[in-house]
Amino acid sequence: MQAKKLDEALPTLERAMLLDIELGSALKDKIVPQLADIYVALIESAMLAKEWEKAGTTLQALRRASPAHPKVEPLSQAVDQKARELLSEAMQLRELTPMKARRLLKTIIGMLPANDPTAAKAKEQLAKPTR
């Protein structure tokens, strides 16, 4: 239930940050930490729910909003590790269950930035024809 409330609060806080930027960033020091804390809670919730794409995309938003936040690095490491695990699993499933492997590869691509090496490997594997 808490994640649902955070999901509802997020657009309002993001809009407040954009308006603050337009008005000279007077409230940046108050808005950004709140926004970052919501992102962290949503990432952790998504990871517990195994919603890897949501965790990854929210992590990217956290990096943009507050790159120095103390949770950025540990969460980045956890998401990167999970992406590598999913890639390994997809490679093992490629011949046996190609549709599941494709879903995993798409998940990896969705959870990582476009320039990430693991995402690039997933794209490369997704482009290969299955037998």
- For residue 100, the model assigns a pLDDT of 95
Contact 59, 81 (CB under 8 A): no
Residue 90, C-beta contacts closer than 8 angstroms, at least 6 positions apart: 100, 101, 102, 104, 105, 108, 122, 125
CA 60/CA 119 separation, integer angstroms = 14
**Whole-Å CA distances, 13 to 29, 30, 48, 84, 95:** 13, 11, 24, 32, 45
Q: What local confidence, expressed as pLDDT, does residue 1 receive?
A: 43
pLDDT at 130: 67
Handedness of CA 63, 67, 70, 76 (dihedral sign): positive
- pTM of this structure: 0.81
pLDDT < 50 stretches in the chain: 1
Element (H, E) at 125: helix 117-127
Domain coverage including residue 56? 2-127
Q: Answer whether 35's CB lies under 8 Å from 66's CB.
A: yes
Name the domain count of the chain: 1
